[in-house]
Chain A
Amino acid sequence: MDDLYREQILEHYKNPHHFGEITDADITQEGDNPLCGDVITLYLKLDDGRLGDVRFRGRGCAISQASASMLTDMIVGKPVQELKSFPTRELLDELGIPISPARMKCATLSVNTLRVALNGDSHEEED
């Protein structure tokens, strides 16, 4: 039963990385997933074309919150131009568990919110 919720996911869920707010964030973006009632807010601080700092707040299922925590580790310090098309696949690989179609919106909430934050829309990339 517990192979779906690997230790790493539960660890991120219980002790999320980059959890909190940035009061003088350059971009603040909310995202939600009506299916689970998951919500997250991303705070992005830009620094000379790079993502200088990132924080998030949120509540919801373990998949959505752990994936947000993992995403922040993957994107901090990266060039903003690159992050505008951050591949969803990379985050799903990092999660490392099979995500059923019903739970895909949970798993991708954070990366979709990042995309809206940086591009102003939610066009999901094709892959």
Chain B
Amino acid sequence: MIEAKTLNVEKVREDFPILARRIHGHPLVYLDSAATSQKPAAVIDVMDDYYRRYNANPHRGVYAISEEATAAYESARQRVATFINAASPREVIFTRNTTEAINLVRYSWGRANVRAGDRILLTEMEHHSNLVPWQLLAREVGATLEFLCIDDQGLLQLDDLARKLEGVRLLAITHQSNTLGTINPIKAIAEAAHRAGALVLIDGAQAVPHMPVDVRDLGVDFYAFSGHKMCGPTGVGVLWARRALLEAMPPFLGGGDMIKRVKLNEASWNDLPWKFEAGTPSVAEGIGLGAAVDYLGGLGMDAVRAHERTLVDYAMERLQDIPGITLYGPRDPELHGGAVSFTLPNIHPHDLATLVDREGIAVRAGHHCTQPLMDRLGVPATTRASFYIYNRADEVDQLVNGIQKAQKVFA
């Protein structure tokens, strides 16, 4: 029997140069990884190495360093495909980020397949990036939007799922809420959606960095995520989709690299995945993402998830003892990913974030790009602490101390 890996957080911390920084005289306590994660030296180094040793435009260069760049970039794609258990690297489209991946589906698949009167099913907890593109598509083609509601613990209410799926072309849903931390039961929802004839798109920006994700096991059709939230650089994200869908979809952006043969008045398209990657790609960023999945794979995603589960469990326990606090999100740690949102009476989240920043603690305050969810919760904003592989339980304690100090200021 193979023993499950556990995360050695002290060793992990040594891999992240930024954690040596002091902020306002205190060690940096970084609790905003849901916005963007910090980067290990392994990622920074491979990007630096690309620029120093083999910077060249990939694909078609016949000289040595262009071939090296092509090999490194395509090897990164292969490793990303393995990381999410895609059937083939041809199903891995590099985009700028999750937002661009979702917009790719909106423009390419959406315009070709969603018609007037069709319905698109979303949820109340979607990030604006998985809401606004569908508002725009619905307005453009005359489709309507429907929403799955949440209960007071931030869990999706699925009793009426079958009814809400009637006439739905696409179900677009987040794997893990960036605000509530809720982990949604994607596999079961996708099965129900397929029975109803709908396709399923998952916003995995908060899931792929934090838990094992197997796109084939989930049984979904489109899966989008960002590099920069999973130890990789900004400027690279991924759209995974089933190959048959990608083959049938028209191109997204037109230009170089995405074509096979161009005449003055027409063109034919390149093979997958390049059909969807017009222009010079983010080469260093792609290579950096490859190093990021190597790094996370080395830690083991089960170990990553277990570590965050422990931290969230501890954070919920410590935070709930603070007088007057309101905690959002699931109470069951099994259903709660690495983000905890809360509000305090008499202290606005931005005032709290400003005050704890003086102690070197970075938390996010605001609507977290989920304004409809804020409306549902009846608050203008929340404070969010989000955890990752380099966070320790004592950083939760420091956050609690910071909150208590802020409460004294506002007492």
Contacts and interface: CB of A to CB of B under 8 A. Distances in A.
Interface stretch (A2-10, A20-28, A80-88, A117-125): A2-10
B351 interface: yes
A4 B118 CA distance: 53
Contact of A37 (B366, B406, B409): B366
A106 B349 CA distance: 13
Contacts of B203: none
Given A35-B366, A60-B380, A2 B409 contact: yes
Contacts of B381: 36-37
Interface stretch (B272-280, B281-289, B352-360): B352-360
Nearest to B366: A35
A44 interface: no
A96 to B, nearest CB: 16
B179 to A, nearest CB: 13
Contacts of A34: 367
Given A62-B348, A62-B410, A63-B351, A37 B358 contact: no
A89 interface: no
B366 A5 contact: no
A4 B349 CA distance: 15
Contacts of A5: 351, 355, 409-410
Interface of A: 1-2, 4-5, 10, 34-39, 59-63, 100, 103, 106
5 contacts: A1-B359, A35-B350, A36-B349, A38-B380, A103-B350
Given A36-B349, A36-B350, A37-B374, 14 more contacts: A2-B408, A5-B410, A35-B350, A35-B366, A36-B348, A38-B380, A39-B380, A60-B348, A61-B348, A61-B349, A62-B348, A62-B351, A100-B354, A103-B350
